[in-house]
Amino acid sequence: MTLEAKPVPIPAVGIVCFNDDGHVLLIRRGNPPRQGEWSMPGGKLEWGEKVTDAALRELAEETGVTAEIISLIDVVDGIFTSRTMGNVTRHYVLIDYVARYLSGTLAAGDDASEARFVALETLETYGLWEETTRIIHAGHLLWRAAHTNV
């Protein structure tokens, strides 16, 4: 009897990084999936890597900046289906953190084609996935609480 390998969810991280002005860092994806769309920096965990290390690594690779993790925001299922067949094509378990910008010159890198800090009141102009917008606003509350205590 042969067992067929079943697909499994892929663990990934996202990082909602705020600068001292309260602007959030967004990247435009340079590669599939979601190529050309705006999102927060993030990506897949590497074997043996801690999730917080992965979040900071992805931030540095995609934007050139370093940050300090403040808190976990949420864990979200990113389940994507085929447009034609409706079957699940990708399933990510997204572990999202909020962070405070520390240093670095902002520049798109790795799989990002653009990177910029944006004001929260302009988020609707970036066509974000509604779950990304929710996570950013939840992260802003945590950032603001930590920022006022600094």
Active site residues: 114
Instruction: Tell me how far apart the alpha carbons of residues 56 and 59 are, in angstroms, rounded to a whole number.
Output: 5
**Contacts with 19 (C-beta within 8 Å, 6 or more apart), sequence order:** 25, 101, 117
Residue 140 gets the label, from left (phi > 0), alpha (psi -120 to 50) or beta, of: alpha
3-state secondary structure of 47: coil
Q: How many CB atoms lie within 10 A of CB 36?
A: 12
